[in-house]
């Protein structure tokens, strides 16, 4: 079994080592590098080409700046924020800058592994305690009152795909479920993001969950 290669970036060595032990004890992850600053994280991402970077937001040189630099790499590793920051702007900035997940410190070891496995599978994650606030910021009452409901503009196929994404499916899983090629699903997702006026599939899933209420 090929293990997912991870770089950890956090300026608190004891916390970082704890996460490293959790990942090392799992069957699916291998820690290949550790960084204490944003700059070190970018350097390791370039040099080691990991599959995943687990990145703190509040660290020397700035976690957000590191996220943007790492997300701009080609190919870019998946980036999961693991932080204490519950500020609305921090969450939105991280998602807009390319983070696949926003995890709050204090999460249990098993839950952290599960979340990272989901992210690697192509799903997205925002800490449940933050999801409602993110949705509120994405769709303000004034904006929703003044604009037509973008969900009314979705085609039947787009709605079908978005509902599956909102359930947590990756593009590959959606493609299998609706009998399409994965690249075709990606084209549909591009159109969906434009219609909903959101920046990535994480925001699209959150908005869809709110709109349909899990139906």
Q: For residues 61 and 79, state if they share a domain.
A: yes
Q: For residues 122 and 19, state if they share a domain.
A: yes
Q: What is the DSSP letter of 31?
A: E
Q: For residues 17 and 56, state if they share a domain.
A: yes
Q: Which run of H or of E encompasses 103?
A: strand 101-104
Per-residue pLDDT of the chain (215 residues; tens, 9 = 90+): 689 999 999 999 999 999 999 999 999 999 999 999 999 999 999 999 999 999 999 899 999 999 999 998 988 899 999 999 888 788 888 888 889 999 999 899 999 999 999 999 888 888 888 887 777 766 655 545 555 678 888 888 899 999 999 998 998 999 999 998 888 898 889 889 888 888 888 889 999 988 887 54
Q: For residues 16 and 37, state if they share a domain.
A: yes
Domain boundary among 104, 135, 166: 135
| Ramachandran quadrant class, 3 (left: phi over 0; alpha: psi -120 to 50; beta: rest) | beta
Q: For residues 39 and 131, state if they share a domain.
A: yes
Give the domain extent around 151. 140-212
- Structurally, how many domains does the chain consist of? 2
Q: Which of 22, 23, 51, 48 shows the shortest CA–CA distance to 35?
A: 48
Q: For residues 85 and 102, state if they share a domain.
A: yes
Q: For residues 61 and 127, state if they share a domain.
A: yes
Q: What is the DSSP letter of 56?
A: -
Please give the torsion angle defined by the CA atoms of residues 47, 30, 67 and 127, in that order, rounded to the nearest 10 degrees.
Answer: 180
Please give the torsion angle defined by the CA atoms of residues 121, 126, 131 and 136, in that order, rounded to the nearest 10 degrees.
Answer: -90
The alpha carbon of residue 137 and the mean position of all alpha carbons in its chain are separated, in whole angstroms, by 17
Q: For residues 68 and 146, state if they share a domain.
A: no
Q: What is the CATH number of the domain that holds 149?
A: 1.10.10.10
Domain boundary among 135, 160, 176: 135
Domain boundary among 112, 135, 158: 135
Place of tokens 């770089």: 7
Long-range (24+ apart) CB contacts under 8 A made by 93-96 are 93/64, 94/57, 94/64, 94/67, 95/126, 95/134, 95/199, 95/200, 95/202, 95/203, 96/199, 96/200
């Amino acid at each position: 079994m090929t293990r997912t290669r991870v770089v950890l970036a956090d300026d608190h060595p004891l916390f970082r080592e704890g996460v490293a032990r959790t990942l090392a004890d799992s069957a699916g992850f291998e820690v290949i590098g550790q960084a204490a600053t944003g700059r070190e994280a970018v350097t390791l991402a370039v040099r080691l080409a990991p599959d995943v970077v687990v990145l703190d937001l509040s660290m020397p040189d700035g976690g957000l700046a590191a996220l943007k630099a790492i997300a701009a790499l080609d190919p870019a590793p998946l980036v999961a924020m693991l932080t204490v920051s519950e500020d609305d702007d921090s969450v939105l900035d991280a998602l807009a800058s390319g983070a696949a997940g926003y995890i709050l410190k204090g999460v249990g070891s098993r839950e952290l592994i599960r979340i990272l496995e989901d992210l690697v599978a192509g799903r997205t994650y925002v800490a449940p305690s933050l999801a409602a606030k993110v949705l509120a910021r994405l769709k303000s009452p004034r904006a929703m009152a003044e604009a037509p409901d973008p969900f009314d503009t979705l085609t039947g196929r787009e709605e079908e795909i978005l509902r599956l994404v909102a359930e947590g499916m990756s593009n590959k899983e959606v493609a299998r479920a609706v009998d399409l090629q994965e690249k075709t699903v990606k084209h549909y997702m591009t159109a969906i993001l434009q219609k909903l006026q959101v920046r990535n599939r994480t925001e699209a899933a959150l908005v869809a969950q709110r709109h349909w209420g899990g139906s």
